[in-house]
């Protein structure tokens, strides 16, 4: 028999992608994410295994029925605490990502234990809370030197707008102590101290807002809108959350009004992005492109912003095709495996009667997304315009196998 490996198929995004888009997360999202990481690490550490490469890229966030579920990925350099076999660290090579490894990893110490993972998790928590890391060296080497020579900046100083309490400062700084003897003992203790720090400074909650938030996470959008409309809070996050509930209900005008108000109160890229999405759904592609441009000015590394802006230019018509092409090409620079961008490039080529280039673009989309019938269909149409009925028929047959479209059935009959 053949050996094979079965892996869970995950639909979601990494914490890195989430932070690129949102920069800073509220405590009511940070705490559940940290709690799930802690639970996973407690299990890992109970088996005497240390991960050694915890970072946002290795934390995967899944939206499951409105709740954020977390998976820790990539145990490729994990190691047992008591494993005495030859390790690369014995030759002075640092294992792990320089940005998130512990001081003892920087020094190449061999007796790593659970406190190394704790340190990395504390750095990730710090970044979720403040939008930055405590050490700001310009090069990886600078970061490593600072890790060994400087105390981390208190989170409250790193992000004064977040109103971080002294208790929360202390909980994070203790977990980030350079000396393991002074550091929090375990991830479990870290979470306990973190939770106590948050709860000791919990302000009087607005019950309508909290109930509205709960309704939204459960997918009860109508009830969420009702409660959020009753809240006494007038902050950006209230308008944003109510906008999301309206958007998910297909009420795009109401969603746009709330997203626009959120952006006025707090000019965050996320709010501009959702303004762009609402404009797009309303068919106002000019304003959609403008809102997406504002989001891109805040974060030029998130490919989906360019993708939606590219589609907005595409649907404005032929005069905007050059801008659409530019955006789809920018998407592919950031994400070379984005099949949808190749599809739209193919559509632009096709509508511009450049059928050979259209075929090339559609074939790239097919290679990346072989189960998507529309790419075969469009490629067949391009071949038909070139007078190549045989190739056109082959592509239409592939498309029909994937999707039993009646119009394709009729087209194949006529071609035969």
User: Which residues does the annotation mark as catalytic?
Assistant: 53
**Token duo for residue 34:** 């940290």
Place of tokens 């000791």: 200
- State how far the Cα of 336 lies from the Cα of 366, in Å rounded to an integer: 14
- Find out whether 382 and 358 touch, Cβ atoms under 8 Å: yes
Spell out a b/e string for 183-202, using b for 16 or more CB atoms within 10 Å of the CB, else e. Answer: bbebbbbbbebbeebbeeee
Sequence-separated contacts (24+) of 113-117 with Cβ below 8 Å: 113/50, 113/81, 114/41, 114/45, 114/50, 114/81, 114/186, 114/187, 115/180, 115/183, 115/184, 115/185, 115/186, 116/50, 116/52, 117/41, 117/44, 117/45, 117/50, 117/51, 117/52, 117/54, 117/187
Place of tokens 């801008």: 323
- Give, in order, the Cα–Cα distances in Å from 213 to each of 67, 219, 245, 313: 11, 10, 10, 35
């Amino acid at each position: 028999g053949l050996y094979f490996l079965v892996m869970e198929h995950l639909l979601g995004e990494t914490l890195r992608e989430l932070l690129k888009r949102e920069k800073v997360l509220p405590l009511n999202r940070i705490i559940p994410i940290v709690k799930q990481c802690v639970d996973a690490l407690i299990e890992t550490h109970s088996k005497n295994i240390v991960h050694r490469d915890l970072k946002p890229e290795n934390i995967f966030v899944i939206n499951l029925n409105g709740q954020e579920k977390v998976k820790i990925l990539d145990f490729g350099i994990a190691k047992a605490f008591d494993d005495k076999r030859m390790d690369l660290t014995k030759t002075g090579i640092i294992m792990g990502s320089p940005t998130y490894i512990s001081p003892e990893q920087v020094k190449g110490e061999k007796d790593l234990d659970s406190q190394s993972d704790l340190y990395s998790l504390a750095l990730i928590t710090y970044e979720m809370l403040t939008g930055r890391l405590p050490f700001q060296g310009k090069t990886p080497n600078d970061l490593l030197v600072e890790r060994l020579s400087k105390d981390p900046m208190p989170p409250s100083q790193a992000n004064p707008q977040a109103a971080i309490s002294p208790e929360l400062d202390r909980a994070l700084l203790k977990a980030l102590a350079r000396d393991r003897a002074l550091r929090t003992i375990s991830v479990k203790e870290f979470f306990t101290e973190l939770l106590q720090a948050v709860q000791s400074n919990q302000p009087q909650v607005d019950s309508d807002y909290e109930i509205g938030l709960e309704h939204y996470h459960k997918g009860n959008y109508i009830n969420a809108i009702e409660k959020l409309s009753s809240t006494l809070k007038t902050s950006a996050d209230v308008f944003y959350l109510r906008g999301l509930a309206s958007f998910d209900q297909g009420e795009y005008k109401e969603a746009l009004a709330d997203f626009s108000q959120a952006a006025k109160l707090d000019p965050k890229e996320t709010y501009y992005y959702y303004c762009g999405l609402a404009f797009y759904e309303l068919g106002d592609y000019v304003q959609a492109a403008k809102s997406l441009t504002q989001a891109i000015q805040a974060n030029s590394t998130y490919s989906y912003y360019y993708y939606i802006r590219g589609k907005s230019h595409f649907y404005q018509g032929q005069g905007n095709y050059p801008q659409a092409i530019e955006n789809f090409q920018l998407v592919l620079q950031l994400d070379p495996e984005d099949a949808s961008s190749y599809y739209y490039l193919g559509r632009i080529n096709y509508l511009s009667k450049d059928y050979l280039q259209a075929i090339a673009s559609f074939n790239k989309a097919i290679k990346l997304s072989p189960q998507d019938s529309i790419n075969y269909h469009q490629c067949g149409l391009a071949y038909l315009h070139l007078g190549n009925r045989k190739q056109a028929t082959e592509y239409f047959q592939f498309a029909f196998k994937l999707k039993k479209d009646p119009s394709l059935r009729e087209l194949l009959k006529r071609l035969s």
